[in-house]
Amino acid sequence: MNDSIVILGRQPALGLAELESLYGADAVRPIGTQAAQLSLAPCAIDFSRLGGVIKLCKVLSAQDTVDWHAIQRFLVRVAPGQTQRMPEGKMHLGLSAYGMNVSPAQLLALGLSLKKAIQKDTGRSVRLVPNKSAELNTAQVIHNKLTRPNGWELVFVRDGNRTIVAQTTDIQDIADYTVRDRERPKRDARVGMLPPKLAQTIINLAIGTAEYQAVAPSLSGDVCLSADDATAMRAGRSSTTVLDPFCGTGVVLQEALLMGYRAYGTDIEPRMVAYTKANLEWLNTIYNTSADSWRVQQGDATAATWDTPVSAVACESYLGRPFTAAPAPDVLAQTMADCNLIIKKFLRNIHGQLASGTRLCVAIPAWQIRPGQFRHLPLIDQLSDMGYNQVSFQHVRGADLLYYRADQIVARQLFIITRK
């Protein structure tokens, strides 16, 4: 099989929308609540740019059963032959199950059976990673080198009455995300501390499918991105300008540069402009990004005039007052009114400066008033009057595009629109 399986992050709706934005709805099929299947080979997917996906896997087999004993018999029979293709040396083996009625003890038993079968048939030494839960987390996969040439994380995903068996090929680089988040010279908790992974998702939702569609005909079947494909994508990105009108400390601009786009940011506060410049200069020393590919200037998003053309708008807007406990109704009402006014002024201001069809992904606030129940800004229902269309998704609802922790009052709602 030539397809891929991805394991989605903590808020799966964001990952599904991101995949659909980049590759199109027809290329994405949700599986349960934690995974999705892509009709692309793993080598055709630019995994490092995906903020809402934690694992990328190559589909090995689809078994028409969810019976664990049948799956175990199948794997013990075929696994030794598959490992013959690996380089010599000790093999590292791990197992993860998603949506399966399988305990860590059952996974351990399967792992021991596979270890014994591989050692008997090939003579290869095998180190088994023990399961404390049904899924190995990102740190375990990285620490145990399961995506290296001698590593093998087998992933089992329940797909209705079938079980998909896959092998992990890529895993989120948590160490690099930590560098990009915590080692920047200028940080400020007061402006929200946008996580780099969420910034990636915001950018991908703003960019849409244009890059993928440009090379899509050459990626059918088990085909990797060719050098020409990669060059074409990179060339397209270098002429694409991502604008962040509320740039804060520059996280969105940072991630845009790392993806190969041109970055353009403004902020109303001179201190934030200085912080962003310092952070992007630091980025150039660490990641060798181009100093000629970004610019930052002071500007009030509700009144600024930006240089054009702007290819896409990706930003976290004004989120209002931070709350550590549920606010009184009148305080929440006033906060919502303030946020609604500022963001409406911004959308009206930028509307005339964008070409028709330009796409925007704006993180706006939503307030969790009860567990899983949110209050949303009124402007969401006034888009058409402001000259915008809201982008709809086949696999997720717009109201579900929320980034938050369970105990968090103020959530970020990702709001994807196009200029009419």
Contact by Cβ (8 Å): 310, 239: no
In this predicted model, what pLDDT tens digit does every residue of 222-233 receive, in sequence order?
667 766 666 667
Over 90: is that where the pLDDT of 210 sits? no
Domains of the chain: 4-39+52-171 (3.30.2130.30), 195-419 (3.40.50.150)
The answer, yes or no, to whether residue 325 has pLDDT greater than 60, is: yes
Q: What is the mean pLDDT of residues 111-123?
A: 93
Q: Mean pLDDT lowest for which of 110-119, 186-195, 358-367? A: 186-195
Question: pLDDT over 90 for what percent of the chain?
Answer: 85
pLDDT at 281: 97
Please tell me the predicted confidence (pLDDT) of residue 251.
97
Query: What's the confidence (pLDDT) of residue 220?
Result: 58
Pairing of strands 126-128, 294-298: unpaired
Mean of pLDDT values over 199-215 = 86
From residue 162, alpha-carbon distances to 37, 97, 178 in Å are 13, 13, 37
Residue 189: what pLDDT?
A: 75
| Prediction pTM value | 0.95
pLDDT of res. 311: 95
Contact 264, 309 (CB under 8 A): no
Q: Does residue 53 carry a pLDDT above 70?
A: yes
* Tens-digit pLDDT profile for residues 386-396: 999 999 999 99
Angle at 253 between CA 248 and CA 257, to 5 degrees: 160
Backbone angles phi, psi at 338, to 5 degrees: -65, -45
- pLDDT-derived band at 1, boundaries 50, 70, 90: low
Look at residue 266 and give its three-state secondary structure: strand
Q: What is the mean pLDDT of the chain?
A: 93
Mean pLDDT of 263-269: 97
For residue 414, the cross-strand partners are 363
